[in-house]
């Protein structure tokens, strides 16, 4: 049975892992490689590295660490941030990234999605969507350039429409980052995720809001997502991936057991 | 021990190379026919589409040489599908080393591609995996149906062949290079395998 995925997200800035609250006030968490290895060994099903400054600064992610990560870890990982051309994508994939995630550049140039899918295959093209609930209009709005508060702005898209657009263009997976929830640890946006699940025929990953173990259980149980992304709860050791998986298993959610705790063959 | 990864010009060559290197073997990525022929182990990786990968192999004049190998060969993901006779993806004839067909996974109300960690149910004669229900990492939308060449199966909407074998040719639908300790153990056994 396909396991639900627990995915630590490492926000990368200038070669280090950082974490901000609601996309702001970034603090340094640590070096990339030791954190990546620690998560891989402690039961992460996948890792996402997100260069939060890249799109906003008009530069691509620093390259060298991608290959170092690929050399060391034996689980899949995704690189996100500023990938806006075939060449950028090729560089990341050839250094060993399993998937690349595109966000703002896809909004600027939706044809980029088709081009990347044709070139590299659907399986490695993830679309990240930063979705903001506007309580004035009651609409979910797609935002772009969210890595930099001064450049972050609303796009013309409503989230449901953009979701369907990117899937029709061949996206292989969606990471839905619910901005209102991000970094405040009050739980995933179950309402939004549940509403969009029915429109998402590809794997859907919840992002933004993980604060306690029950939040993971709820997003899998209620919103039926395929994976859940989390950063600060793991970086700050509020609880472990093992704690999350134990709770998921107790709630009859399929999980991949943590290998370090098993006898290996 | 010489290990060769066939340069299919697909994207995930590097992660396969690193996985073999982590096991202590050196490895060569090449499209040189002689180096492929003389290698002790040949790995055929692949992501992308079957039609594009077959085009690359034809352009490099590797189709016949790959069909004539006698050492253990492991096709990974799309590389496994290339070992079959035909793929529905692009309606393309493949290497026809294992008489099976690659077809699109059915729409069963489950998200596609089939992406993530799923369990393997190996057959008793699988020389590369013993454990039932060990988890491996899959990413694919096309699959091979279960038949007499299946040496492990998995389930996603329906049961499909997650590993196949015919003589010295082996295929894994999942990515052993990204399947944690289970994948490492599988690669290690492939590299140490003695065919009789």
Q: Pull the structure tokens for residue A118.
A: 């044709």
Q: Above 60 in pLDDT, residue B153?
A: yes
Q: Above 50 in pLDDT, residue B191?
A: yes
Q: What is the CATH number of the domain that holds B153?
A: 3.40.50.880
Interface touch A98/B15, C-beta < 8 Å: yes
Interface touch A74/B19, C-beta < 8 Å: yes
The rounded Cα B73 to chain-centroid distance in angstroms is 9
**Min Cα separation B29/chain A (Å):** 12
Q: Look up the domain containing B168 and give its range.
A: 3-192
Considering only CB atoms, which chain B residues are within 8 Å of A201? 111-112
Q: Above 90 in pLDDT, residue A44?
A: yes
Q: Look up the domain containing A38 and give its range.
A: 5-261
How many domains, chain B? 1
Q: Above 50 in pLDDT, residue A263?
A: no
Interface touch A173/B21, C-beta < 8 Å: no
**Min Cα separation A40/chain B (Å):** 8
Helix residue ranges per DSSP H, B76-122:
78-82
Residues in chain B: 196
More confident call, A201 vs A24: A201
Q: Pull the structure tokens for residue A252.
A: 């009859």
Model confidence pLDDT, tens digit, residues A104-134: 999 999 999 999 998 888 999 999 999 999 9
CA distance B144 to B81: 7
B64 an active-site residue?
no
| B76: Cα within 13 Å, side-chain hemisphere | 30
**Known catalytic residues of A?**
11, 130
Model confidence pLDDT, tens digit, residues B21-68: 999 999 999 999 999 999 999 999 987 788 888 999 999 999 999 999
CA distance B166 to B151: 10
Residue in the structure block whose two tokens are 């260069």? A51
How much of chain B exceeds pLDDT 70, in percent?
Answer: 99
How many domains, chain A? 1
Model confidence pLDDT, tens digit, residues B135-150: 999 999 999 999 999 9
Considering only CB atoms, which chain B residues are within 8 Å of A74? 19, 22, 177-181, 183-184
Q: What is the CATH number of the domain that holds A153?
A: 3.20.20.70
Exactly one of B148, B166, B177, B196 is catalytic; name it. B177
What is the predicted pLDDT for the residue at A143?
94
């Amino acid at each position: 049975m396909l396991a639900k995925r627990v995915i630590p997200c490492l926000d990368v800035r200038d070669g280090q892992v950082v974490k901000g609250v609601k996309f702001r006030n970034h603090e340094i968490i640590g070096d990339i490689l030791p954190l990546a290895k620690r998560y891989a060994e402690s039961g992460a099903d996948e890792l996402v590295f997100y260069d939060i400054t890249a799109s906003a600064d008009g530069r691509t992610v620093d390259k060298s660490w991608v290959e170092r990560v690929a050399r060391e870890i034996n689980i899949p990982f995704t690189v996100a941030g500023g990938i806006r051309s075939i060449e950028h994508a090729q560089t990341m994939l050839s250094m060993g990234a399993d998937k690349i995630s595109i966000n703002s550049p896809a909004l600027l140039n939706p044809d980029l999605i088709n081009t990347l899918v044709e070139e590299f295959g659907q399986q490695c093209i993830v679309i990240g969507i930063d979705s903001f609930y506007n309580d004035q209009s009651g609409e979910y709005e797609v935002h772009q350039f969210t890595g930099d508060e001064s450049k972050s702005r609303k796009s013309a898209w409503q989230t449901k429409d953009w979701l369907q657009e990117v899937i029709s263009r061949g996206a292989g997976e969606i990471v839905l980052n619910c901005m209102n929830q991000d970094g405040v640890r009050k739980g995933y946006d179950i309402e939004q995720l549940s509403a969009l699940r029915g429109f998402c025929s590809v794997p859907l990953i919840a992002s933004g809001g993980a604060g306690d173990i029950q939040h993971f259980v709820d997003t899998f149980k209620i919103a039926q997502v395929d994976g859940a992304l989390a950063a600060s709860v793991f970086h700050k050791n509020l609880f472990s991936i093992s704690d999350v998986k134990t709770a998921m298993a107790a709630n009859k959610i399929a999980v991949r057991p943590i290998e370090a705790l098993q006898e290996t063959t | 021990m010489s290990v060769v990864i066939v340069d299919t010009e697909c994207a995930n060559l590097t992660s396969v190379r690193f996985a073999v290197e982590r096991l202590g073997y050196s490895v060569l990525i090449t499209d040189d026919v002689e180096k492929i022929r003389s290698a002790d182990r040949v790995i055929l990786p692949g992501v992308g589409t079957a039609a594009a990968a077959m085009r690359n192999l034809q352009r490099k004049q590797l189709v016949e040489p790959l069909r004539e190998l006698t050492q253990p060969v492991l096709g990974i993901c799309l590389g496994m599908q290339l070992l079959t006779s035909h793929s529905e993806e692009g309606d393309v004839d493949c290497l026809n080393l294992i008489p099976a067909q690659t077809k699109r996974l059915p729409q069963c109300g489950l998200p596609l591609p089939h992406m993530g960690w799923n369990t393997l149910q190996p057959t008793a004669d699988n020389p590369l995996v013993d454990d039932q229900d060990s988890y491996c990492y899959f990413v694919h939308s096309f699959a091979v149906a279960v038949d007499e060449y299946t040496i492990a199966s998995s389930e996603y909407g329906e049961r499909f062949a997650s590993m196949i074998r015919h003589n010295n040719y082996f295929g894994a639908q999942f990515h052993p290079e990204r399947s944690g300790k289970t994948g490492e153990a599988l690669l290690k056994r492939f590299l140490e395998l003695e065919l009789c």
